């Protein structure tokens, strides 16, 4: 699979087959992704690959926090505190597109809640990856980490796997860090990894992208 095909076919997968991903496959993905660039070659990434009972234990605690309404407290500020245009509209359209695909109405708060709870199960993927960074690292290393994450997702796509990078899995970092022994690190995000259920309607939609001339200016 060439790079262009991988980029265009990668998407956020939210339903997976009940099919395991071998350790060898995950190691191969990470072995290639580790060549992602980073400033001064700092390589700021730390990865926890979680499956089986440990995955269930973490997800159960995350779901309990969600059900009990425990305040979310990520280790860093992911989204703006106050949205403005055009980002406010794009955010709204993104959520509405998924709900429309699933036939979930604005009034159906129970199904909306059920759908959001699926985030904390990593959408029932067989594997969840958790990504940590040393708190001494600054914004530049977060940019580096983004390139590492994209490299993982592209390599997974080339291997026939689906992924979904998830901020939701980092909303209660103390739970995850305690379970995995990563106290002293910042939890950046999580990622669902597995084989896409191509018959699941939730995987049938794609979010739109701007045309190049909408975000680019050329200067000579």
Is residue 101 one of the residues assigned to a domain? no
For the stretch 125-166, pLDDT in tens is: 999 999 999 999 999 999 999 999 999 999 999 999 999 999
The reported pTM is 0.96
Domain containing residue 169: CATH number: 3.40.109.10
- Determine the pLDDT at residue 150: 98
Average pLDDT of the chain is 97
CA-CA-CA-CA dihedral for 177, 181, 185, 187, to nearest 10 = -30
Region 85-89 average pLDDT: 96
Is residue 187 one of the residues assigned to a domain? yes
Residue 6: exposed, middle, or buried by beta-carbon count in 10 A (0-12, 13-18, 19+)? middle
Is residue 172 one of the residues assigned to a domain? yes
Split into its structural domains, the chain has a count of 1
Tokens 């779901």 locate to 63
Tokens 């910042």 locate to 186
Segments in the chain forming alpha helices (H): 3-9, 23-33, 52-67, 87-102, 109-117, 139-158, 173-180, 212-215
Region 28-36 average pLDDT: 98
- Determine the pLDDT at residue 210: 97
Instruction: Give the structural domain span for 187.
Output: 3-78+120-203
Entry field: residues in the chain? 220
For the stretch 104-124, pLDDT in tens is: 998 999 999 999 999 999 999
Is residue 216 one of the residues assigned to a domain? no
Is residue 106 one of the residues assigned to a domain? no
Region 55-65 average pLDDT: 98
Is residue 40 one of the residues assigned to a domain? yes
Question: Among 10-24, 38-52, 96-110, 176-190, whose mean pLDDT is lowest?
Answer: 96-110
Is residue 107 one of the residues assigned to a domain? no
Region 10-24 average pLDDT: 97
- Determine the pLDDT at residue 106: 86
Work out the number of other CB atoms within 10 angstroms of the CB of residue 116: 11
Is residue 98 one of the residues assigned to a domain? no
């Amino acid at each position: 699979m060439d790079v262009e095909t991988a980029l265009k076919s990668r998407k956020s997968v939210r339903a997976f087959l009940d099919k395991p991903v071998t350790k060898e496959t995950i190691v191969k993905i990470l072995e290639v992704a580790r060549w992602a660039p980073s400033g001064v070659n700092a390589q700021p990434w730390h990865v926890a690959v979680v499956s089986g009972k440990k995955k269930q234990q973490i997800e159960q605690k995350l779901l309990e926090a969600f059900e009990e309404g425990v305040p979310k407290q990520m280790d860093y500020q992911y989204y703006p505190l106050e949205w403005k245009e055009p980002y406010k509209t794009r955010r709204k359209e993104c959520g509405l597109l998924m709900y429309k695909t699933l036939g979930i109405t604005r009034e159906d708060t129970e199904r909306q809640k059920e759908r959001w709870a699926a985030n904390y199960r990593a959408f029932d993927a067989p594997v969840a990856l958790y990504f940590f960074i040393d708190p001494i690292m600054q914004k530049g290393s977060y940019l580096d980490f983004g390139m590492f994450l994209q490299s993982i997702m592209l390599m997974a796509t080339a291997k026939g796997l689906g992924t979904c990078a998830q901020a939701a899995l980092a909303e209660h970092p103390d739970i995850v860090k305690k379970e995995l022994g990563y106290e002293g690190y910042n939890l950046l995000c999580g990622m669902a990894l597995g084989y896409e259920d191509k018959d699941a309607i939730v995987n049938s939609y794609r979010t739109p992208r701007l045309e190049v001339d909408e975000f680019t200016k050329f200067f000579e």
